[in-house]
Homo-oligomer: A and B are copies of this chain.
Amino acid sequence: MFPKNAWYVACTPGEIDDKPLGRTVCNERIVFYRGPEGRVAALEDWCPHRGAPLSLGRVVEGKLVCGYHGLEMGCDGRTVAMPGQRVRGLPPIRAYPAVERHGFVWVWPGNAAKADEALIPHLHWADHPEWAYGGGLYHVKADYRLMIDNLMDLTHETYVHATSIGQPEIDETPCTTKVVGDEAITSRFMHDIPAPPFWRMALRANGLPDDQKVDRWQICRFTPPSHVMIEVGVALAGHGGVEAPKDKKAYSIVVDFITPETETSMWYFWGMARNFRPDDRALTAQIRDGQGKIFAEDLEILERQQANLLHWKGREMLKLNIDTGGVQARKVIERLVAAERGAAAA
């Protein structure tokens, strides 16, 4: 269950620089490529001639040329040319609104008439000289909402990520959740605790001592359809926590774009935006590698959780206090899906 009238992250620009990319988003099989003037284009991954995937073709002068019989597609889904053949009568294929922005390629898998680029989330850290970003992509065989649940309830860090970012104080500190419009926000503030390994590294990278008690915060923000941005950080204890002056804290934004592939699989774009030593590429690589290892620890849990949900069909998951963030996010999703269905029925 996912809304289709929404902007999803489909890929990173680098994935389509050299050749077309076939990727399924919300059950839509789509080919992404760079059309005229290098602009991103997205079409059904179906050649109108014989149904071969266009993603096996190549781009020539902004046109997507089918790798089977050379049919040339325009980015509007119409056939532009075909060797020895008039193409005016050929049926068009579906074109999807697609935009490159903030270092990602965004796609709107639903009703194109409703696609509004203004709805693409503004990422203040992207394209900003004081910030650096590094991230990666995982394919996960699980309902994308299980990943939202995961990210909106960080008590799992204590167990799944015990050796890196987990610590018992996460568990012991209650979180609070509020809903503002379509946004769900779960926050947790921990005071006067030891810093776990990842944050000791970050303190050092910020020129701060790594052996002192800290205040730590986690502010998880879900926005539809399935983005979760998490403000995370530590400040030397007693300097105001999240409000501490810049030279007393280390912080960053955990970036999660969770794109449904099918009902039971997802493309998980994860990363971290930081505003310290933004030009230090080695640090970016180091953080990305570390984060990649940590986030990989969730995958087996989620895939096996999905397998259990399919085995025990109809069995409900509990909705406890710690689950409130995920529960509220799912409510937003359900509302959007219901609205789409209502609009489709009307």
Contacts and interface: CB of A to CB of B under 8 A. Distances in A.
Interface in A1-47: 29, 45-46
B70 A317 contact: no
Contact of A46 (B171, B173, B308, B322): B308
The winner among A56, A172, A305, A308 for most chain B CB atoms within 10 A is: A308
Contacts of A308: 29, 45-46, 51-53
Given A53-B308, A83-B172, A172-B84, A46 B315 contact: yes
A67 interface: yes
A256 interface: no
Interface stretch (A154-162, A191-199, A220-228, A274-282): A154-162
Contact of A160 (B67, B174, B300): B67
Interface size band for A? 35 or more
B315 A51 contact: yes
Interface string A163-183: 000001001111000000000
10 contacts: A49-B320, A50-B305, A51-B312, A53-B305, A56-B300, A57-B159, A68-B159, A69-B156, A82-B320, A83-B168
